[in-house]
Amino acid sequence: MEIRQHESALTAALRAEQAHVTRTYERLDAVRRHTRAALEKAYGRETGGLHQARYEREVTAGEYARRLARLEAVEHGLCFGRIDDADGDTRYIGRAGLRDADGEIVLTDWRAPAARPFYTATPGDPGTLVRRRHLHTRDRVVVGLDDEVFDLERLAEGERRALVGEAALLAALRRGRTGRMGEVVATIQREQDRVIRSGLAGALVVQGGPGTGKTVAALHRAAFLLYTHRDVLERRGVLIVGPNATFSRYIGRVLPSLGETDVVLSSVGQLYPGVHAVAADSPVAAALKGDLDMVRVLAAALRDRRRVPDGDLEVDVPVRTSLRDGVEVVVRWMTLRAGHDDCVRARDRAAHARLPHNAARKLFVMDMLRALTLDEARRLDAPDTEEDLRHARRALWAHEQVRRALDALWPPLTPEELVAGLLSDPAALESAAPGLTPAERAALLRPYGAPWTTGDVPLLDEAAELLGEDIGDAEAAGTFSRAERERAEREADERYALGVLEYTGLFEDDMMEAAALADRHRAPAPETTTAERAAADRRWAYGHVIVDEAQELSAMAWRTVMRRVPARSLTIVGDLAQTGSPAGARSWGEMLDPYLEGRLRTEHLLVNYRTPAEIMEVAADVLAAVAPGSQPPESVRDGGAPPRAVRLDPGLPGGRAALTDLVRDELAAIGEGRLAVIVPDARHEALTALFPRDGDVLDSPVAVLTVTAAKGLEFDAVVVVEPGEILTQSPLGGNDLYVAITRATRRLTVTCRGEAPPMLSRLRL
């Protein structure tokens, strides 16, 4: 009887919520129609061909198109929550804010301050709430409700009878993994909410163990910041830096599903436009390339590329040509000379001009051409007025011999040439990095044209700063008229940039000169999105940068990241106990102080939403062995299958068969879920061949991954192969093992050839 009464109350509650959800979708459809019409109207507007009018039309249409994209993206799970307060007021929470035709609020955006109690109320501290309700929908239909009641007494009588559901968080965690990160907008926890809504200014470090929701908090923070500071961030964009491209794909759907598009997802290997670095460095090379000493090494390498001749510079130039059989041939040559002292003076003046190499080359070429034209005028007894000399300079620069001679002294360089040249030339490396041992230099050397590694990217970026933009040859030799025209604009930009630097306290920062900053604030073209423009521009200044798995970034990588955010508005999420890169962070302060001078806020996340308690006990033993004193996070889930160890040797045919059988059984145990085989680096190739897949690693039921590639990801079942080899494969092998073991949401199996390492003694073979 009681059950039937409860059922009918539930049915009535579902019906009532369905009515509200239907109304919400009707409003969404209406706003979409309205926006679409406005977009069509904007495109249809006559501009009369005027550039300014066309520009304005593009901007307006772009704004409507973005708004429409946001409205399209919030379809799934539009309304997911409801809060009731002690005064009897009710508020619905969802992915967008909507009002009805009379201006009444139908749905409150989850990021709005009014939605905050939905995330912060706890039984101990409910604020004014008496109940929080989660609404589960499929398409546009309400299929379930979960209630948390904070004050039963003050809940209306009818509502009291219709209380339903289990804790929404646990229900969410029980759902199978899809291979892509899900959004958790409906079940964000209080401590995560604090991270998400922390202010835009300054740097926030979020330290938390595996599975504590650092990544989801970071992604929702991006959406929150874009909502709250749309004016700044839509123009400047938000950059999210992850550990690798797979990770970017793993998290890639969360933000669009929250309706955000102005976010650039990148790995460190992709931060330098035009290069997609995926190759790995040896641990020694990674540590060396990640060290800030490379700043000095690159500067020295560049200095070494500039030369002056031992004596005077002599260049043979043609003075008379004649046509023979229709072909122009030189019949008289003349040797022009620039004195050694002139060459030294030209080099020093250019070197001390505080200009990047390629821009300073302009000065050098001008001075050298001046010396050569004076010599020419003397030899030919020609007039040497300024006007004559300017003509003569242009004529001289037209000779290939002159260009070649000057290029040999001060070559125009690309970052790629400088870095690849240095790393492939033992003599250049020895000269630029005399402090390195021969073995260290040998670890850095590789053939010219070898694939770029992740560690090369910060070097390329540093080189690009040293070199600056290339300049057209014609300008170098001509009257600089185009340069002069641009100078006025630049100076205005620089004055503005200087203001920004002073305002942000970065004036003293030698990483960012006003000139460089000025370039970053040039007005954008309207026809592309902010994210597209930003991703293609190495010198783009983002409004906010989020770094995930931030413990992996080297000091040089931080330099690259900081250049992209001169205002130093950052969210840095990571776990020092998971650092795997030999160039990565051992302390946040040590890594970040050079840029933030201690001005960082820290939040800690302490609850693990991924790994069941049974698996976490094993992980805790590993953590205790590799980082004594560190506390593992506490798991909210338990009751998973007990983790186990299995003896097999994947190096033997019998062992390989046993491994494939084991993987098959694990797949059967998890049903629809996904499985990862996490392997030592040296076994990756062989074991990948054992589990062939087509398509993306994230979409296949079985993914064979190194620990580096598994970073940040999660799977229903994980099989860790040869933990002993993972432990010894790098100086931070213990951290790697901790990462491997904490990737599972349900099942963990470890395979060993012989005895398992003592820190895994909890697993009986």
User: Please, which residue, 83 or 169, has the CB nearer to ligand ATP?
Assistant: 169
Q: Least distance in Å: CB of 547 to ligand ATP? A: 12
Tell me the three state secondary structure of residue 229: coil
User: Please, which residue, 217 or 750, has the CB nearer to ligand ATP?
Assistant: 217
Q: Least distance in Å: CB of 542 to ligand ATP? A: 21
Q: Least distance in Å: CB of 587 to ligand ATP? A: 17
User: Please, which residue, 251 or 750, has the CB nearer to ligand ATP?
Assistant: 251
User: Please, which residue, 221 or 236, has the CB nearer to ligand ATP?
Assistant: 221
CB atoms within 10 A of CB 313: 22
Stretch that binds ligand ATP, among 209-217, 334-342, 375-383, 559-567 (CB under 6 A): 209-217
Number of residues binding to ligand ATP, judged by CB under 6 A: 24
Q: Does 173 bind ligand ATP (CB under 6 A)?
A: yes
Annotated binding residue 165: no
User: Please, which residue, 109 or 193, has the CB nearer to ligand ATP?
Assistant: 193
User: Please, which residue, 113 or 182, has the CB nearer to ligand ATP?
Assistant: 182
Q: Least distance in Å: CB of 205 to ligand ATP? A: 13
Class of residue 392 by CB neighbours under 10 A (exposed 0-12, middle 13-18, buried 19+): buried
489/491 Cα distance (integer angstroms): 5
* Contact positions with ligand ATP (CB under 6 A) in 214-253: 214-216
Q: Least distance in Å: CB of 633 to ligand ATP? A: 8
CB 149 within 8 A of CB 163: yes
Stretch that binds ligand ATP, among 22-30, 48-56, 184-192, 312-320 (CB under 6 A): 184-192
Structure tokens at 554: 């080297």
Structure tokens at 736: 């790697």
Q: Least distance in Å: CB of 706 to ligand ATP? A: 15
Stretch that binds ligand ATP, among 182-190, 368-376, 495-503, 683-691 (CB under 6 A): 182-190
User: Please, which residue, 90 or 178, has the CB nearer to ligand ATP?
Assistant: 178
User: Please, which residue, 160 or 180, has the CB nearer to ligand ATP?
Assistant: 180
* Contact positions with ligand ATP (CB under 6 A) in 539-598: 575, 578
Provide DSSP, 60-129: HHHHHHHHHHHHHHT-TT-EEEEEEETTS-EEEEESS-EE-TTS-EEEEETTSGGGHHHHH--SS--TTE
Residue nearest to ligand ATP (CB): 213
Stretch that binds ligand ATP, among 8-16, 207-215, 331-339, 661-669 (CB under 6 A): 207-215
Annotated binding residue 215: yes
The radius of gyration of the chain from alpha carbons, rounded to an integer in Å, stands at: 32
Helix axes 456-467, 357-380, angle to 10 degrees: 40
Annotated binding residue 582: no
Across 252-262, b (16+ Cβ under 10 Å) vs e yields bebbebbbbbb
CB 384 within 8 A of CB 454: no
Span between the terminal Cα atoms of the chain, in Å: 52
Q: Does 169 bind ligand ATP (CB under 6 A)?
A: yes
- The phi and psi torsions of 140 (rounded to 5 degrees) equal -110, 20
Q: Which of 217, 219, 182, 254 is CA-nearest to residue 604?
A: 217
Q: Which amino acid is at 29?
A: D
CB 363 within 8 A of CB 410: no
User: Please, which residue, 453 or 608, has the CB nearer to ligand ATP?
Assistant: 608
Q: Least distance in Å: CB of 526 to ligand ATP? A: 35
Select from 81, 208, 290, 734 the one that contacts ligand ATP (CB under 6 A).
208
Stretch that binds ligand ATP, among 185-193, 234-242, 412-420, 659-667 (CB under 6 A): 185-193
Select from 79, 130, 145, 184 the one that contacts ligand ATP (CB under 6 A).
184
Select from 137, 207, 212, 358 the one that contacts ligand ATP (CB under 6 A).
212
Helix (H) or strand (E) holding 8: helix 2-44
User: Please, which residue, 184 or 464, has the CB nearer to ligand ATP?
Assistant: 184
Virtual torsion, Cα 61, 62, 63, 67, nearest 10 deg: 100
Q: Does 714 bind ligand ATP (CB under 6 A)?
A: yes
User: Please, which residue, 623 or 659, has the CB nearer to ligand ATP?
Assistant: 623
CB 129 within 8 A of CB 148: no
Select from 81, 94, 179, 210 the one that contacts ligand ATP (CB under 6 A).
210
CB 133 within 8 A of CB 145: yes
CB 563 within 8 A of CB 461: yes
Annotated binding residue 213: yes
Stretch that binds ligand ATP, among 73-81, 165-173, 308-316, 481-489 (CB under 6 A): 165-173
Stretch that binds ligand ATP, among 49-57, 186-194, 319-327, 492-500 (CB under 6 A): 186-194
Select from 172, 428, 445, 765 the one that contacts ligand ATP (CB under 6 A).
172
User: Please, which residue, 173 or 471, has the CB nearer to ligand ATP?
Assistant: 173
Is the Cα dihedral 533, 537, 540, 546 positive or negative?
A: positive
Select from 158, 182, 339, 434 the one that contacts ligand ATP (CB under 6 A).
182
User: Please, which residue, 254 or 422, has the CB nearer to ligand ATP?
Assistant: 254
Q: Least distance in Å: CB of 541 to ligand ATP? A: 27
CB 678 within 8 A of CB 743: yes
Select from 187, 248, 261, 454 the one that contacts ligand ATP (CB under 6 A).
187
CB 177 within 8 A of CB 673: yes
User: Please, which residue, 313 or 546, has the CB nearer to ligand ATP?
Assistant: 546
Q: Does 712 bind ligand ATP (CB under 6 A)?
A: yes
Stretch that binds ligand ATP, among 166-174, 292-300, 522-530, 675-683 (CB under 6 A): 166-174
31/98 Cα distance (integer angstroms): 8
What is the length of the chain?
Answer: 765
Structure tokens at 1: 């009887």
679/492 Cα distance (integer angstroms): 56
260/67 Cα distance (integer angstroms): 10
Q: Least distance in Å: CB of 664 to ligand ATP? A: 25
Q: Least distance in Å: CB of 623 to ligand ATP? A: 13
Stretch that binds ligand ATP, among 72-80, 211-219, 275-283, 369-377 (CB under 6 A): 211-219
User: Please, which residue, 650 or 733, has the CB nearer to ligand ATP?
Assistant: 733
With residues binned 3-state (H G I as helix, E B as strand, rest as coil), the percentages for the chain, rounded to 5, are: 50, 15, 35
HEC string of 619-666 equals HHHHHHHHCCCCCCCEECCCCCCCCEEEECCCCCHHHHHHHHHHHHHH
Q: Does 192 bind ligand ATP (CB under 6 A)?
A: yes
591/437 Cα distance (integer angstroms): 25
Q: Which of 571, 573, 567 is CA-nearest to residue 552?
A: 573
Select from 742, 749, 756, 760 the one that contacts ligand ATP (CB under 6 A).
742
Q: Least distance in Å: CB of 443 to ligand ATP? A: 29
Residue 120 neighbours by CB under 8 Å, 6+ apart: 127, 190, 193
Select from 94, 126, 179, 211 the one that contacts ligand ATP (CB under 6 A).
211
- The phi and psi torsions of 486 (rounded to 5 degrees) equal -75, -20
* Residues in binding site for ATP: 208-215
Q: Where on the chain is the footprint of ligand ATP (CB under 6 A)?
A: 169, 172-173, 182, 184, 187-189, 192, 208, 210-216, 575, 578, 609-610, 712, 714, 742
* Residues in binding site: 208-215
